[in-house]
Amino acid sequence: MKRFVLIPVFLALSVLARADAVVVDIGGVDGAMLTNVRAHLGLVRAERLEDVSVWRLRQMAGDARGEIREALRPFGYYRPRIEVRLEDPAAEGQPWRARIRIEPGEPVRVHQVDIRFAGAGEEDPELRAWRESWPLPAGSRLLHADYEAAWRELDNLARARGFFDAVFRERRVTVDPDRGTAVVRIHFDTGQRYHFGHFQAPESIFSERLMSRLTIIDPGEPYTSARLDEQREVLVRSRLFERVIVETERDRDDGRVDLLYRLEPRLPNSYRVTAGFGTDTGARVQLGWVRHYLSSRGNRLDSGFGAQQSNSEFVLRSEYQHPRGNKPSDFLTVGGILRREQDNFRFNDEARREAVFDSFSGRREQAELSIGRLQERRIFAPRGGRLEERIFIAYLNESFNAFREARFSEENEALLAANPELAPFLETTTNTLALGARWRLPNISGSGFFAEGQVLEARVLAADKSLGSDVGFAQAYLSGRWHQIFGDRHKVLLTAEIGYTDAATETLDLTLGDSDLRLSITELPERYRFKTGGDRTVRGYGFETLSTNRNGANHILATSLEYEYRVGRDWSLAVFYDVGNAFNDWNMRKLKRGVGAGFRWYTIIGPIQVDVAQALDDVDQPWRLHFSIGTRLL
């Protein structure tokens, strides 16, 4: 009789007994398997409880073997050996300890793979490529995660390629744990492939011809989601719309996908005002006006005015773009630039810092009219970079006149009297008719410090006297900028440029008293001459002071290497090494070197850049401060 009374009493005491905590020690597995085992175990979840009944702990220990087996199966282990031991606390207040030892055993291996396609997609190259890259070939360990990811990828790929009616007729994995083998079967019926139909643009303010031009998808073209994304991008890049939504409507009977454009036109006009300052340019201001569409055809006008303190320079520019042909990024262009500035005709020796004679100050005026074609090309791949190409004919009228103001020093007058052959260079007017092309390939992502990528630019330009130009020349130029971020704080910036011109030069041997100078002048118009030095090129030297006699040159060679370290959220420190020069004689390059350090602060108006640089080839020259904020002049 007493024996039957004690049993319920014992059970009651077991229920009331509490374990303050439990620690789970698992051996035999690691990595992803260990993580999955811990995620399945009730004992591990009990570690986070303040207390738990001993009865519950023992129940969880009994469940652990089944939970572990379930956790190991995704990795192909179906016959593991598992030992679970629950140890009492060594003393009051100490935690319970669950010791688990696992021997996964031999994994299940794929014995047979049976993948079959039916329907219109049976010979689709992308689906065939998916089958060829199947991640679980015969003999490999069965990994359920790879299997799940693979069939879902197939389903998504089929729909992305227009097989919207695709279904799995069979999709399963049959495992024989005793033999350690598995058979994978996937029978996939793609059904028909849908094709693009027609587009509709209800309530559009633009002409049907323009909307057709902006539609790059042809009716009957096989559907792909990538092609649909390209269509959205074209509408966005047209810069005509504030909002772009492209909806699809499927017709199962015809296997057709029609497009419905829901477009909100942007305001026709936009304006901008920017200001800046730099040690090269002084204060500067820019005013801009863009008329995004002059009519329902989508023709565009972009105009701007800029002024800067240095040399009292003023620039007025405008460009009209007229849609051409059936491609959305193909335009005929007419552009014009008017520039006026105070400039100097200089007399500098390459081997000396100081001018040999006083400069002649004069006014330089330029008027340029260009007519050409602008288009974008895809290169490398359909989703590759966009190459901007401009082919143009340009007429340039350029004049320099130092006699208009006649602010000559006594040395100026004496030099001119002693060397009358100098006079034609002080009052010049040149008319140039040139044929040229420019290419630009940007690939930039991010902003501020985190902007990285590359920008490549190239141009060729040629003029011939037989075609009515006052000068004849042929010029080629190539430049590149490369920005790469390493980690979260390190950035390397590399820039390089090279230019070559086949143009005549004239040499004058000037003398005045004990001073003499061999002056080399290219016949190139000043607009096409190369110069370097300053805030954004070879630092440590003055703005555009590096060229033959400081009057511009036929050739250029320059590069810069900069390392930037991000200190705060929006500011960083930099060190740099620059080298380069512009010159008329390629065999006498005399490259100049500069080295220094700087500070960068990234703001909503652009980076504020402060550099201190030393000209290594002018050792007696003091350190030079370079400071710039805002954008350049137009």
Banded model confidence at residue 274, pLDDT cuts 50, 70, 90: confident
**Rounded-to-integer distance, Cα 1 and Cα 154, Å:** 70
Q: Which CATH superfamily is domain 15-103 in?
A: membrane protein fhac (3.10.20.310)
Q: Where are the domains of the chain?
A: 15-103, 109-189, 195-265, 269-629
By the 8 A CB rule, do 468 and 449 touch?
no
Q: Residues 212-224: what's their mean pLDDT?
A: 95
pLDDT of residue 405: 77
The residues with which 168 forms a beta bridge, in sequence order, are 188
The per-residue pLDDT for range 229-256, each reduced to its tens digit, is 999 999 999 999 999 999 999 999 999 9
Residue 236: C-alpha distances to residues 105, 248, 292, 328, 389 (Å): 57, 17, 13, 11, 20
pLDDT of residue 604: 81
**Rounded-to-integer distance, Cα 469 and Cα 459, Å:** 20
Predicted TM-score (pTM) of this structure: 0.79
Banded model confidence at residue 634, pLDDT cuts 50, 70, 90: very low
In 3-state terms, what secondary structure has residue 482? strand
* Beta pairing, strands 96-103 & 81-87: antiparallel
**Rounded-to-integer distance, Cα 215 and Cα 206, Å:** 13
Q: Residues 175-200: what's their mean pLDDT?
A: 96
CATH topology agreement for domains 109-189 and 269-629 = no
By the 8 A CB rule, do 203 and 130 touch?
no
Residue 120: C-alpha distances to residues 131, 156, 170, 222, 316 (Å): 16, 16, 18, 12, 60
By the 8 A CB rule, do 96 and 127 touch?
no
Q: Position of tokens 């009519």? A: 295
| Check whether domain 269-629 has CATH 2.40.160.50, yes or no | yes
Taking each helix axis as running N to C, give the angle between helix 225-237 and helix 144-160, from 0 to 180 degrees, rounded to the nearest 10: 60
| Check whether domain 109-189 has CATH 3.10.129.10, yes or no | no
**Rounded-to-integer distance, Cα 24 and Cα 48, Å:** 11
By the 8 A CB rule, do 574 and 600 touch?
yes
Residues 6 or more apart in contact with residue 490 via CB below 8 angstroms:
563, 564, 565, 566
Banded model confidence at residue 20, pLDDT cuts 50, 70, 90: low
In 3-state terms, what secondary structure has residue 54? helix
Tell me what the pLDDT averaged over the chain comes to.
91
In 3-state terms, what secondary structure has residue 12? helix
Tally of CA atoms within 13 A in the half-sphere of 456 that contains its CB:
7
Say yes or no to pLDDT of 260 above 50.
yes
What CATH number belongs to 195-265?
A: 3.10.20.310
pLDDT of residue 630: 65
